[in-house]
Amino acid sequence: MSAKRILFTGGGTAGHVIVNLALIPVFQKEGWEIDYIGSKDGIERRLIESLEGVTYHPISTGKLRRYISKENIKDPFKVLKGTMQAWHIIGKRKPAVVFSKGGFVSVPVIMAAKLRGVPAVIHESDFTPGLANKIAMPFAKKVLATFPETIDYLPEKKAEYVGAVIRDELFEGDKEKGLELCGFTKEKPVLLIMGGSGGAEKINQMVRASLDQLLPEFQIAHICGQGKIDPAVNNNGYAQFEYVNEALKDLFAATDFVLSRAGANAIFEFLALHKPMLLIPLSRSASRGDQIINANSFKDKDYARVMEEENLTEASLTDELFKLKKQAPIMIDHMKKYKSEKARERVIEIIKTIGEETAG
């Protein structure tokens, strides 16, 4: 094993990648050789493959569906194939440690690491563990939690609460560049709308339908998802984007309020940046309910307001956003008590310690 080689995995959504993006530069600066195992066509490939100094390895993977589908018959074979592919990659690259952010692509990687005798560290973002991490946890050496309450759902001897890992670059945004990107002025606050890496159709529709009520109070930057820009909507003070990557830090710097889904990584970034937020989590009919739990945890701590998607109308949306604007100073006071920098330091320390133990 190489004491200076680490293998990252995680994918399916941007939320399963951004923590890896926060950690990779740290290990690069310290001279570690870095590999990444992801899917053949997932968002992780687009985000990771272009990084200099990172070798990306695509593998086969199933989706681990919770619903009935004929694809479920094929998925175990895809996972088995992916496990064998990961086993060969790990055997060839010989990392000292594997770090996983979850998602279905991580399951065969963690299983293969166990077969190769390489220790794996899992970082669970949500309040309750996702299905992929539940399957992978028995094969991992350490399981780290973002929410303190998550410890109750993790194997006692492996679990540790560390908090959320936030990318340094998000604190380095330029407000002027963010306003220029959107064509906005300094005269009116900016509301950022994010529906996750895949967008959120109902949120998109309601925001556009409510522009006449919202634009007198806000300038709106709307990240609406790939292929979901509406060219017919070109109101002054409203800017649409499919996806923002490099300029996201500048857009965050220009943002005063956020309307978002409740994926754990995203909402902890808003928390670290002190951005008051209205959260509309994925409904239970469209998910396992993890975003609802995440959102309510933030609401209980006065970090956010929460509205269920089933209650989303033009009137309820505008009402909640106006309440958010009024409540924002109280939220910011609570947010300032949260310290994010300690989480990344602890995660790095854990990874290095385990890697050094393996390399001997």
* 279-302 pLDDT per residue, tens: 999 887 666 778 999 999 999 999
Give, as one character, the DSSP assignment of residue 208.
H
- Judge if 80 and 177 occupy the same domain: no
- Judge if 136 and 201 occupy the same domain: no
- Judge if 11 and 153 occupy the same domain: yes
- Judge if 9 and 136 occupy the same domain: yes
- Judge if 186 and 40 occupy the same domain: no
Q: Which residues of the chain have pLDDT under 50?
A: none
Q: Find residue 219's DSSP bridge partners.
A: 190
- Judge if 331 and 354 occupy the same domain: no
- Judge if 183 and 80 occupy the same domain: no
State how far Cα 295 lies from the chain centre. 14
Q: Specify whether the CB–CB gap between 35 and 109 falls below 8 A.
A: no
- Judge if 143 and 203 occupy the same domain: no
Tell me which residue of 239, 234, 247, 254 sits closest to 186, measured CA to CA: 254
Cα–Cα distance measured from residue 19 to residue 123, given in angstroms and rounded to the nearest whole number: 9
- Judge if 47 and 157 occupy the same domain: yes
- Judge if 134 and 227 occupy the same domain: no
Give the chain's domain count: 2
Q: Specify whether the CB–CB gap between 273 and 106 falls below 8 A.
A: no
pLDDT at 290: 87
pLDDT at 167: 87
Torsion of CA 358, 348, 11, 275, to 10 degrees: 170
CATH code at position 33: 3.40.50.2000
pLDDT at 109: 97
Tell me which residue of 32, 18, 29, 10 sits closest to 351, measured CA to CA: 32
Q: Which token pair is 225?
A: 């998802």
CB atoms under 10 Å from CB of 186, counted, come to 11
For residue 77, the enclosing domain spans: 2-165+340-359
pLDDT at 282: 85
CB atoms under 10 Å from CB of 185, counted, come to 10
